[in-house]
């Protein structure tokens, strides 16, 4: 109890000073405060906003660890120093060498993401005189997981500053933002520095430096390969386990699935959104498969590679699974009503695959699909609520008449 009491006493001492919000943030992150609300209803629940955020971070940690191993594995595999992994528990994947490369490349991303983001949050809290908002805890963890391994750190810093200020603070901070901040950051990177966010050079550590030399290694993602109508060399098991090039934490569908179960079990993430997104993607995938089967699209078409991809393969390649589980379910930017969540999720899945197939310039559609549906979420909610009001009004009329 020593630290808790000391912190509490310090808090009382510095109450009302300029730095108080910054201090309170650290205090409440570590402990439940010693005070209760002063009026209104008192509900005591274990999960306040900070606890909610911590739960999501816990669900993300396996993705992060897997991402570190995968970063090293892809690097060593591309340079030819190790054999391809056989099975999920293969030693050539879970080796210390891989982890060292992963730590070396991923830790700086995490430090920059949290450092820049939290400094901006603290500055805004001190200027505006409100408490530091917890929203960045999850965003700061998501950001390193959705960028390519070799992204220059200064670009990440610029993007985080942009995303936090323009994506969140201008709307009034956590809970008021329209767009998911982590995706805003990724979209900024994508449009600002497209050479670092797409192509076949950035997904595997070392590919950029060796480009053009005899040691050049290729790090094409599966979506990139398919968009060029080429054969995919990775097996289905590789795709599902995540032994494929891609953004740091998005490759392993298996690990993401574990995170999804954890989120659903703790009732933090909405299973409605996850399920309906998957349904939407399946429907769109089946439509494309049917057009190929009926012979409308032949191998000469530039869409053939992605259109002929078997519908369920779409679910395990690219960032679809990660986006749907961790980004689409963001409680602030998603639809709030249950019926709205079904519509919102379905359209995310549907549009993701649509963009993926039809726009080779944006190999991964899930980012743009989620951002687009973020914008529409309040509209969906509005019509769902109005529809309910209308239904009940009708019932009322029938009763009184």
Partner 1 sequence: MGLLSKKDVALIKDPLADDNPITIQVLGICSALAITAELKASIVMAISVVFVLGIGNVVISLMRNIIPSKIRIIVQLTVVATLVIIVDQVLKAYSYELSKTLGAFVGLIITNCIIMGRFEAFALGNGPWRSFLDGIGNAAGYGIILILVGFFRELLGSGTLLGYKVLGDSVEKTGLYALGYENNGFMLLSPMALIVVGIIIWVQRTRNKALIED
Q: Which stretch binds partner 1 (CB under 8 A): 7-15, 191-199, 261-269, 367-375?
A: 191-199
Applying CB under 8 A, among 129, 175, 194, 387 the residue interacting with partner 1 is 194
Judge contact between 125 and 132, C-beta under 8 A. yes
Closest distance of CB 167 from partner 1, Å? 10
Closest to partner 1 by CB, 7 vs 208, is 208
Closest distance of CB 162 from partner 1, Å? 9
**225-284 positions binding partner 1, by CB under 8 A:** none
Judge contact between 169 and 124, C-beta under 8 A. yes
Closest distance of CB 127 from partner 1, Å? 10
Closest distance of CB 249 from partner 1, Å? 24
Applying CB under 8 A, among 119, 192, 236, 290 the residue interacting with partner 1 is 192
Judge contact between 352 and 323, C-beta under 8 A. yes
Residue 361 binds partner 1, judged by CB under 8 A? no
Closest to partner 1 by CB, 195 vs 213, is 195
Closest to partner 1 by CB, 199 vs 331, is 199
Residue 191 binds partner 1, judged by CB under 8 A? yes
Applying CB under 8 A, among 17, 37, 39, 195 the residue interacting with partner 1 is 195
Cα angle, residue 329 at apex, residues 157 and 371 outer, rounded to 5°:
55
Closest distance of CB 166 from partner 1, Å? 6
Q: How far apart are CA 151 and CA 370, in angstroms?
A: 23
Cα angle, residue 258 at apex, residues 150 and 320 outer, rounded to 5°:
50
Judge contact between 206 and 78, C-beta under 8 A. yes
Judge contact between 67 and 248, C-beta under 8 A. yes
Residue 155 binds partner 1, judged by CB under 8 A? yes
Residue 166 binds partner 1, judged by CB under 8 A? yes
Taking every pair of Cα atoms in the chain, the longest distance, rounded to a whole number of angstroms, is 85
Closest distance of CB 193 from partner 1, Å? 6
Q: Phi, psi at residue 268, to the nearest 5°?
A: -90, -45
Closest to partner 1 by CB, 126 vs 283, is 126
Residue 188 binds partner 1, judged by CB under 8 A? yes
Closest to partner 1 by CB, 22 vs 158, is 158
* Cα separation of the two ends of the chain: 65
Give, as one character, the DSSP assignment of residue 133: P
| Number of other residues whose CB lies within 10 A of the CB of residue 293 | 10
Give, as one character, the DSSP assignment of residue 132: P
Q: Report how far apart, in Å, the C-alpha atoms of 126 and of each of 42, 218, 351 are.
A: 28, 47, 40
Residue 89 binds partner 1, judged by CB under 8 A? no
Residue 212 binds partner 1, judged by CB under 8 A? no
Q: How far apart are CA 356 and CA 318, in angstroms?
A: 9
Q: Nearest CA to 174 among 182, 287, 303, 114?
A: 182
Q: Which stretch binds partner 1 (CB under 8 A): 13-21, 78-86, 184-192, 253-261?
A: 184-192
Closest distance of CB 179 from partner 1, Å? 12
Can you give the binding site for partner 1, defined by CB under 8 A?
152, 154-155, 158, 166, 170, 188, 191-196
């Amino acid at each position: 109890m020593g630290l808790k009491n000391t912190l509490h006493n310090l808090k009382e001492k510095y109450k009302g000073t300029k730095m108080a919000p910054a201090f309170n943030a650290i205090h409440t992150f570590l402990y439940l405060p010693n005070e209760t609300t002063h009026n209104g209803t008192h509900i005591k629940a274990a999960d306040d906003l900070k606890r909610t955020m911590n739960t999501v971070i816990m669900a993300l940690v396996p993705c992060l660890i897997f991402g570190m191993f995968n970063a090293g594995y892809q690097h060593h595999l591309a340079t030819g120093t190790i054999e391809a992994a056989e099975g999920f528990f293969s030693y050539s994947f879970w080796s210390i060498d891989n982890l060292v490369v992963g730590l070396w490349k991923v830790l700086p991303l995490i430090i920059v993401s949290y450092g820049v983001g939290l400094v901006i949050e603290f500055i805004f809290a001190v200027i505006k005189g409100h408490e530091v908002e917890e929203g960045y805890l999850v965003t700061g963890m998501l950001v390193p997981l959705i960028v390519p391994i070799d992204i220059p750190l200064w670009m990440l810093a610029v993007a985080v500053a942009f995303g936090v200020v323009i994506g969140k603070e201008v709307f009034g901070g956590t809970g008021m933002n329209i767009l998911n901040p982590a995706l805003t950051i990724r979209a900024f990177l994508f449009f600002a520095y497209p050479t670092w966010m797409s192509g076949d050079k950035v997904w595997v550590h070392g590919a950029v430096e060796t480009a053009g030399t005899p040691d050049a290694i290729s790090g094409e993602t599966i979506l990139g390969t398919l968009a060029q109508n080429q054969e995919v060399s990775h097996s289905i098991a590789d795709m599902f386990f995540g032994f494929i090039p891609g953004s740091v934490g998005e490759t392993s569908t298996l690990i993401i699935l574990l995170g999804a179960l954890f989120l659903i079990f703790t009732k933090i993430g909405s299973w409605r959104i996850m399920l309906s997104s998957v349904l939407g993607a399946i429907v769109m995938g089946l439509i494309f498969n049917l057009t190929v089967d009926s012979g409308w699209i032949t191998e000469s078409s530039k869409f053939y590679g992605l259109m002929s991809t078997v519908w369920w393969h779409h679910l395990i390649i690219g960032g679809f699974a990660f986006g749907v589980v961790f980004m689409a379910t963001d409680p602030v930017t998603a639809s709030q009503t249950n019926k709205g969540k079904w519509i919102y999720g379905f359209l995310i899945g549907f549009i993701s695959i649509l963009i993926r197939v039809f726009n080779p310039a944006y190999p991964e559609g899930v980012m743009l699909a989620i951002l687009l549906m973020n914008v529409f979420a309040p509209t969906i909610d509005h019509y769902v609520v109005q529809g309910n009001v209308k239904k009940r009004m009708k019932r009322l009329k029938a009763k009184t008449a």
